[in-house]
Chains A and B, each alone.
Chain A
Amino acid sequence: GNSVTQMEGPVTLSEEAFLTINCTYTATGYPSLFWYVQYPGEGLQLLLKATKADDKGSNKGFEATYRKETTSFHLEKGSVQVSDSAVYFCGRRVQGAQKLVFGQGTRLTINP
């Protein structure tokens, strides 16, 4: 089964709202954790990452903290913009392996 589970979408928010997209993972050892984003008409691109427990990845106002005790890497943003509308994918890469495994994606729509 899939070892990365994301919050079901779609998610629709108003501009300036607070965003949380939940992500949990299963893996042995200490995987690296990622959030990728796919804007309309574009390829997936890295948003942020964290490689060890308690690390916080951040980019473009988004943050996610690697929580080993809860095996989670939830994505947050304090004030979303219309331009944040996209599909967000959580991913994990097991230590020593190259395969990056993704969750099912969460479609986010921000209304003005």
Chain B
Amino acid sequence: GAGVSQTPSNKVTEKGKYVELRCDPISGHTALYWYRQSLGQGPEFLIYFQGTGAADDSGLPNDRFFAVRPEGSVSTLKIQRTERGDSAVYLCASSTASDSPLHFGNGTRLTVT
């Protein structure tokens, strides 16, 4: 079946612009996670959704970052006033339940110039 799909695969934007990154989880997966991976580093947790609600947003670095999952399936990560330090690969993962293995997408590579 289809895996976790993330769009776009690459995004180049100018400093100060707003961007949206989309994640389509595996159908039926109630848990959805966003991670950020900088070059040479492991994935860094940003936020976790159980259904429509953000159950843990402790990893969001500041108030420029926000994520939604209005219908409990597709999620959008929104970054306002982008900075060069936001450049990274943004990963989405989903799972069937809170303690199940995570299924990752291939990520969106964000470059802020």
Which residues of A pack against B, CB within 8 Å?
Answer: 2, 4, 6, 32, 34, 36, 41-46, 49, 89, 91, 93, 97-105
Chain A residue at minimum C-beta to C-beta distance from B97? A98
Task: Give the number of residue pairs across the A-B interface with Cβ within 8 Å.
Answer: 59
Known: A43-B91, A49-B101. A89 touches B55 (CB 8 A): no
Q: Are A43 and B43 touching (Cβ within 8 A)?
A: no
- Are B56's CB and A97's CB within 8 A? yes
Q: What is the minimal beta-carbon distance from B71 to any residue of chain A, in angstroms?
A: 20
- Is the beta-carbon distance between A98 and B50 smaller than 8 angstroms? yes
Mark the stretch among B11-19, B60-68, B77-85, B102-110 that contacts chain A.
B102-110
Closest partner residue, chain A, to B44 (CB atom): A102
Q: Is the CB of B55 within 8 A of A44?
A: no
Q: How far is the CB of A3 from chain B (nearest CB, A)?
A: 11
B102 touches A99 (CB 8 A): no
Task: Find residues 1-50 in chain B having any chain A CB closer than 8 Å to their own CB.
Answer: 3-4, 31, 33, 35, 40-45, 48, 50
Q: Are A44 and B104 in contact (CB under 8 A)?
A: yes
With A45-B103, A99-B56 known, 15 other A-B pairs at CB within 8 A are: A32-B99, A36-B104, A41-B106, A42-B106, A43-B3, A43-B103, A44-B43, A44-B93, A44-B104, A89-B42, A97-B56, A98-B31, A99-B48, A99-B58, A101-B45
B98 lies within 8 A of chain A by Cβ? yes
Nearest-Cβ distance from residue B29 to partner chain A, whole angstroms: 13
Q: Is B59 an interface residue (CB 8 A)?
A: yes
Contact B58 A105 (CB under 8 A): no
Give me the 6 closest cross-chain CB pairs, A-B, nearest first. A102-B42, A43-B104, A46-B101, A44-B104, A43-B106, A104-B42
